[in-house]
């Protein structure tokens, strides 16, 4: 696990965009695994900026997102489909984008279809990840037993509270979601984990103290051969922003 510490959030986004650029340079038709949450928003802004100046071009690349609430309508403002359209896909042209279908009749069949679609695309070259304050990646929540493949999952109270900030009063917040499993995430050739802000300092510390905490799903990444973690100083030291 390579650890890169940047002074602040903006520099994390620049460093992450550089890794995306390098991936594209090596393979124009790369398959990217993308994430939602507030952490990657600055990276997506930087990608849009570089696409506008012609420094980056995703027109041959494909993208698979990590997760989606379930059930949720695609045009619900808090769906991850709507999030990705707003923050990236409406402005950057990809050869293809996929997000687990929050409207699917059969969530289990949808997860099997999603894993098969990733395989058919040749697997993920670069997987972007954020991390929950409880250590979740995608929506793989702390558990005794982890489904390997993509699956329907119940969100923990900590995640529901953390993500409630995105839902306005009166809006129903889904308590279940479809998520890529640890298995498909692990098949990515390179994993890029972004950790920013002092709220993530505690979980970041656990990730780097040389132990595999089974109740911190991100710790599975310690076993992957090619992971880059980019952190800001707030996440690295717990310094208040």
35 binds ligand GLP (CB under 6 A): yes
DSSP code, position 87: I
> How far apart are the C-alpha atoms of 128 and 108, rounded to whole Å?
24
Reading the block at residue 91, the tokens are: 């402005």
Of 60 and 237, which CB lies nearer to ligand GLP in the complex structure?
237
Q: Which of residues 38-67 bind ligand GLP (CB under 6 A)?
A: 38-39, 66-67
C-alpha distance from residue 51 to each of 25, 27, 94 (Å) = 13, 16, 11
- Closest contact distance (angstroms) between CB of 96 and ligand GLP is 21
Q: Which residue do the tokens 């989606």 mark? A: 68
Which one from 76, 136, 190, 224 is the annotated catalytic residue? 136
**Interaction of residue 138 with ligand GLP, rule CB under 6 A:** yes
Binding ligand GLP (rule: CB under 6 A), the pick from 131, 178, 204, 230 is 131
Q: Are strands 151-154 and 176-179 parallel, antiparallel or unpaired?
A: antiparallel
Which residue in the set 107, 130, 142, 217 belongs to the binding site for ligand GLP (CB under 6 A)? 130
Report helix angle 9-26 to 41-52, nearest 10: 50
Known catalytic residues are 67, 134, 136, 141
User: Footprint of ligand GLP on this chain (CB under 6 A)?
Assistant: 35-39, 66-67, 130-132, 138-139, 159, 163
């Amino acid at each position: 696990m390579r650890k890169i510490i940047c002074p602040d959030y903006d520099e994390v986004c620049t460093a992450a965009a550089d890794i995306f650029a390098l991936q594209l340079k090596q393979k124009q038709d790369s398959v990217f695994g993308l994430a939602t949450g507030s952490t990657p928003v600055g990276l997506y802004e930087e990608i849009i900026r570089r696409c506008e100046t012609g420094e980056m071009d995703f027109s041959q690349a494909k993208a698979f997102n990590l997760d989606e609430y379930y059930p949720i309508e695609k045009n619900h403002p808090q769906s991850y489909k709507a999030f990705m359209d707003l923050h990236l896909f409406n402005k950057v042209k990809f050869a293809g984008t996929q997000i687990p279908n929050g409207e699917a009749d059969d969530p289990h069949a949808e997860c099997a279809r999603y894993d098969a679609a990733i395989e058919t695309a040749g697997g993920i070259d670069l997987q972007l990840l954020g991390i929950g304050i409880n250590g979740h990646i995608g929506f793989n929540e702390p558990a005794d037993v982890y489904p390997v493949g993509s699956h329907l999952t119940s969100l923990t109270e900590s995640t529901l509270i953390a993500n409630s900030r995105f839902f306005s009063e009166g809006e129903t917040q889904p308590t279940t979601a479809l998520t890529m499993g640890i298995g498909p995430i692990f098949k990515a050739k390179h994993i890029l984990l972004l950790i920013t802000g002092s709220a993530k300092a505690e979980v970041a510390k656990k990730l780097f103290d040389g132990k595999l905490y089974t109740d911190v799903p991100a710790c599975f990444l310690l076993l992957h051969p090619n992971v880059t973690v980019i952190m800001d100083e707030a996440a690295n030291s717990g310094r208040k922003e």
